[in-house]
Amino acid sequence: MRTQVAIVGGGPSGLLLGQLLHKQGIDSVVIERRSQAHVLGRIRAGVLEQGLVGLLHQAGVGNRMENEGFLHDGTMIAHEGQMFRIDFAEHTGKSVMVYGQTELTRDLYAARDASEGKTLFEVEDAAIRDAETEKPYLTLTHQGKAMRIDCDFIAGCDGYHGISRKSIPADKRHEYEKVYPFGWLGILSATPPVNDELIYANSERGFALCSMRNDQLSRYYIQCDALDDPDNWNDDDFWDELRRRIPEEAADTLVTGPSIEKSIAPLRSFVTEPMRWGRMFLCGDAAHIVPPTGAKGLNTAASDVHYLFEGLRDFYASGDMQGLDQYSGRALDRVWKTERFSWWFSNLMHRYPDQSAFDQKMQLAELAFLRDSPEAQAAMARSYVGLPY
């Protein structure tokens, strides 16, 4: 099989890149080691920066998001039983879109099917070959048959555990990592959100987040031990603990119900450099991971897709390699700024096991400074709605 761009990974970043390329008449093949049902079953954050919203419209898949998503002009920060609001519209003139990642991925699959784009699911033994040459290719097994996909370029959109990053020789990769000593226990419930906007809560009992997917589907999180097990928590225990961590005005109006899904997400910061090896380019979690505080994972993957798409578009339009040559540097410049924001916001909102009394006082002083300083709120708002590409 021959294609122009082979995309490893059938998640939202790989699908978005494929759809943008299709709009430019550039052929791609997507390979995915899981089934489509498995990909669509992943529960992920749904806060979209304006840059990602624009890319989805550019790819022709933004209509359902506009009809069913929720524009948020701000977010709530809670500490010491009180709340204050960060007004995105006032400080930046922008908003974010709340739209579930599962629905976004569903829209992208529908668009790929409509364009008759080639997608191979449940592939096995995939390997990237000759990426450092001008004739890279993939080998894999699909439906019991060995296959080879020749291509001009490879986009590695297959996440942290995928094959793409590992195809860069270990002595050529520089990896940076921080593992946080806690996780997020999250539940999904068919209940109305407790607030029209997200509530990020700093509590002496630990962090909590009140989020939503739509007006009848809510997502809630509480900080927990990194080694905890979701089976240790029944629904009543979760709701009781959540109430203890959010302001009384929110706790009193919280609507509870049976959990649809319950899981624990670890928190990590990770970056690998470079994000290019020959004609293979890393996108999203294959190259970097952020803690979920502030919902930057998918959004940072989208900025990678933007830079890579621009480079591929220019190459196929005129043979110009400049955009592709600059891809890793441009992407990493924004990645590290996003990592900084996620690290700062995580440190601000969570309680650490080794946190001293002084550390806690500094954390509370930082929260008070954010509450009282328009300049600090403006800086946070700029990062939250998304840095420019």
Residues 330, 274: Cα–Cα separation, whole Å: 11
Catalytic residue among 136, 193, 291, 292: 292
Spatial contact of 212 and 282, defined as CB atoms under 8 Å apart: no
Catalytic residue, from 200, 220, 221, 327: name it: 200
Measured between alpha carbons, how far is 273 from 174 in angstroms, rounded to an integer?
Answer: 5
Side-chain-facing half-sphere of 115: CA atoms under 13 Å = 26
Q: Is 94 a catalytic residue?
A: no
Instruction: For residues 267 and 42, give the distance between their C-alpha atoms in angstroms, rounded to a whole number.
Output: 17
Question: Which of 12, 22, 72, 307 is labelled catalytic?
Answer: 72
- Catalytic residue, from 109, 137, 180, 384: name it: 384
Cα–Cα distance, 208 to 196 (Å, whole number): 16
The CA distance from 108 to 5, in Å, is: 17
Residue 143, phi then psi, degrees to nearest 5: 55, 40
| 191 DSSP assignment | S
User: Can you tell me the distance from the alpha carbon of 74 to that of 85, in angstroms, rounded to the nearest whole number?
Assistant: 7
- Among 22, 288, 296, 350, the one annotated catalytic: 296
Q: Is 292 a catalytic residue?
A: yes
Beta strands 74-79 and 199-202 are parallel
- By annotation, the residues acting in catalysis are 72, 200, 292, 296, 384
